[in-house]
Structure 1
Amino acid sequence: MDFYPVLENKRVLLRPLQAADIEGLLPVALQPVLWKVSTIKVQEKADLEKYVQTALADRERGEAIPFVIIDRRENRVAGSTRFAAISQSHRRAEIGYTWIDPPLQGSGLNKAMKFAMLQHAFEVMGLNRVELKTNELNTRSRNAILSIGAQQEGILRHHMVGSDGSLRNTVYFSILKAEWPEIKERIFAKYGF
C-alpha cells in the first residue's frame, strides 16, 4: 500500500503531510472554532507540532495516510485530513481528522476532498469499507457526512474523553465498496471534480 499518495481533482490537492508543513498549517490550526467539539485541542504551535508528529508516526506504523489540504481555487493551505485506522487485513479505513479553514467550510472544498479520498479508497486501495465518525454534538459534520452518501450506523455512548475531560458520544457512519458506484454517480458526478 502506498502511504504517500497525491490525490487531486479540479478543486483540491491532497499531498502527503510533512513536518515542514507546520508553518503553513499554523494560521488555520490556531482558530479555536476548529477544536470546539474535538477531543484534540490546538492552542499553540507546540500543540500542532505534536499533532503532526503523531500523524507522521501513525503513517510510519502503517496505520494512517495524513494529508495537507490545498484549495486550488484560492491556491493556499486549507487544513488537514487523513485515512486513519487502516486495516489492510480487513480492507477498511477511516476518513477523519479533518479540519478546514472556517471561511472555506461550505464552499465545496470538503466535498471535493471526500470525493478524491473515496475514489482512492475504493478504486486504488481496494477497500471494502470506509468509516467516518464525529461528535454527536457536531451537527454540521454529521450533515456533511450524510451529504456524501454515508449511512449512519449508530452512536457509541461515552466513546471518547475530550481534552477537557468531557465524555463524547461518537456517531459512526460508513460507505461500502458495493455502494460506491451509485454514490459516485448520484452525489459526485454533478460537481465535475
Structure 2
Amino acid sequence: MPQSGFDPVPVVLETDQVRLEPLCCAHAEGLFCAGRDAAVWRFLPRGPLLDANDARRWVDEVTTEQGTGARVGFAIIDLRCGAIAGSSSYLDVQRAHRGLEIGWTWLAPAYQRTHVNTHCKWLLLSHAFDVLGAARVQFKTDARNETSRRALLRIGATYEGTLRKHRLLPDGGVRDSAYYSIIDTEWSGGVREHVRCLVEGGRAGGRK
C-alpha cells in the first residue's frame, strides 16, 4: 500500500544484483572511478569528474539540493562486486501533485546497456508508485541521446514531446530536451509487470 503522504526521502533500495544507496561523501572515490570518462557526461550539464575531490564537490551539490526537498540522490552499487556503477536521482519533486522526475542517471561505460540500468529503473519506479503513491513519473533526456530514448521506450514510458533549445551546455551548445512519462494507471495497468519481466530476463547480467 502507498504511504499516506507523498514525501520522497533518502532510502536504501535493493534487488538481488543492484543496490541504490543514499548519496553521500563516502561514495566520492567510487563515483570518480565510475565517472571519469568524458563520454559518460556527453549529454549531462557538467563535465567529467576530475578527481575524488571533484566528486565530493558534486555530491555536496546534490545533498545541498536534497536539503531543499527537491531531490533525492542515489549511488548505484553492483552487488556482484561491490563497485559503484554510477548515480541516479529523484528530481523536481512535486509533493502537492504526487509527481517527480527520475534523472541525472549516469553509468560507467562498463555498465551501460547492461542489467544495471533496468534494475535501477525498476527500484526507482516501484518505490515511487507502489510505496510513495506517485501519480506521475517523468524523464527528460537530450533529444540527441538515442540510447537513452530507446531505453525509456523499452521500459514502457510514453514520449510526450520535445522542448526546443531547453538547456545551455558546458561546451556552449544548446540542447533540446525530449520528455517521457509513466502515470499511475499505466504502471498498474501493465508497465509494472513489463519492467518486472525485463528485470527477471536480465538476471544473467549480460548486455541488453
TM-score by length of structure 2 reads 0.88
CA deviation profile, 1:38-81 (whole Å, cap 9, x unmatched): 22112413543332111101111111110000012333110111
Counterpart position of 2:193: 185
Residues in 2 aligned to 1:162 and 1:188: alpha-carbon distance in whole angstroms: 35
* Structure 2, unpaired ranges of 5+: 1-6, 204-208
Aligned: 1:73 with 2:91: no
1:13 to 8, 13, 19: 19
- 1:129-140 superposed matches below 5 A: 129-140=136-147
The answer to whether the Cα contact below 8 Å between 1:41 and 1:47 also exists between their aligned partners in 2 is no
The answer to whether the Cα contact below 8 Å between 2:118 and 2:199 also exists between their aligned partners in 1 is no
Aligned: 1:31 with 2:37: yes
Aligned: 1:97 with 2:104: yes
The answer to whether the Cα contact below 8 Å between 1:42 and 1:48 also exists between their aligned partners in 2 is no
Shift of 1:162: 0.3
The RMSD of aligned alpha carbons is 1.4
Shift of 1:15: 0.6
Counterpart position of 1:128: 135
3-state secondary structure, aligned to 2:97: coil
CA gap of 1:115–1:175, structure 2 versus 1, over 3 A, is same
Q: Judge which range, 169-178 or 67-76, deviates more.
A: 67-76
Residues in 2 aligned to 1:78 and 1:41: alpha-carbon distance in whole angstroms: 18
The answer to whether the Cα contact below 8 Å between 1:64 and 1:86 also exists between their aligned partners in 2 is yes
CA deviation profile, 1:97-142 (whole Å, cap 9, x unmatched): 0111111111111001100100000011111000101001111011
CA gap of 1:160–1:190, structure 2 versus 1, over 3 A, is closer
Aligned: 1:82 with 2:93: no
TM-score by length of structure 1 reads 0.95
4+ long deviations beyond 4 Å: none
* Structure 1, unpaired ranges of 5+: none
Counterpart position of 1:60: 67
Counterpart position of 2:124: 117
CA gap of 1:36–1:2, structure 2 versus 1, over 3 A, is closer
3-state secondary structure, aligned to 1:114: helix
The answer to whether the Cα contact below 8 Å between 2:75 and 2:87 also exists between their aligned partners in 1 is yes
Shift of 1:191: 3.1
Residues in 1 aligned to 2:152 and 2:57: alpha-carbon distance in whole angstroms: 27
Residues in 1 aligned to 2:92 and 2:40: alpha-carbon distance in whole angstroms: 22
Aligned: 1:107 with 2:114: yes
Residues in 2 aligned to 1:139 and 1:2: alpha-carbon distance in whole angstroms: 29
